[in-house]
Amino acid sequence: MIEQFILETEHLALRPLTPEDAPTVARLAGRREIAHTTISIPHPYSEDQAREWIARHTSPSGPGREIVFGITTRGEGPLIGAVGLREIDTEHS
């Protein structure tokens, strides 16, 4: 597993997602225009689906080749999106 940590810029922070983010993830990902341009996001997108997605990306049982961050404004700002890195090759840093 890849260790989760927080990355900060002057204005934004990338942080681990939590189950408490599910309502916001559902609201953001559930917008029709998002689902229309994304193969893997259904419309409508429920909070239960968001919780399942978050759990899959925060579970310690994964192979450690993917990491997903929640995007917030710096500090204790609200969740405004998510970004992921996948096919991480830890052998080559």
Does 1 map to a domain? no
Q: State residue 60's pLDDT score.
A: 57
Question: Phi/psi at 41 (nearest 5 deg)?
Answer: -110, 115
CA 85/CA 93 separation, integer angstroms: 13
Phi-psi region of 75 (alpha: psi -120 to 50; beta: other; left: phi over 0): left
Q: State residue 1's pLDDT score.
A: 44
Does 28 map to a domain? yes
Give the structural domain span for 46: 7-92
CA 25/CA 68 separation, integer angstroms: 13
Q: What is the pLDDT of residues 24-51, one digit of tens each?
A: 999 999 888 888 888 888 889 999 999 9
**CATH code of the domain in which 49 resides:** 3.40.630.30
Quote the pTM value: 0.80
CA 49/CA 1 separation, integer angstroms: 23
* Domain count along the chain: 1
Does 30 map to a domain? yes
pLDDT at residue 16 greater than cutoff 80: yes
Of the candidates 93, 20, 16, which has an alpha carbon nearest to the alpha carbon of residue 57?
16
Does 38 map to a domain? yes
Q: State residue 63's pLDDT score.
A: 55
Does 59 map to a domain? yes
Between 14 and 85, the higher pLDDT residue: 14
CA 68/CA 18 separation, integer angstroms: 11
Q: State residue 59's pLDDT score.
A: 66
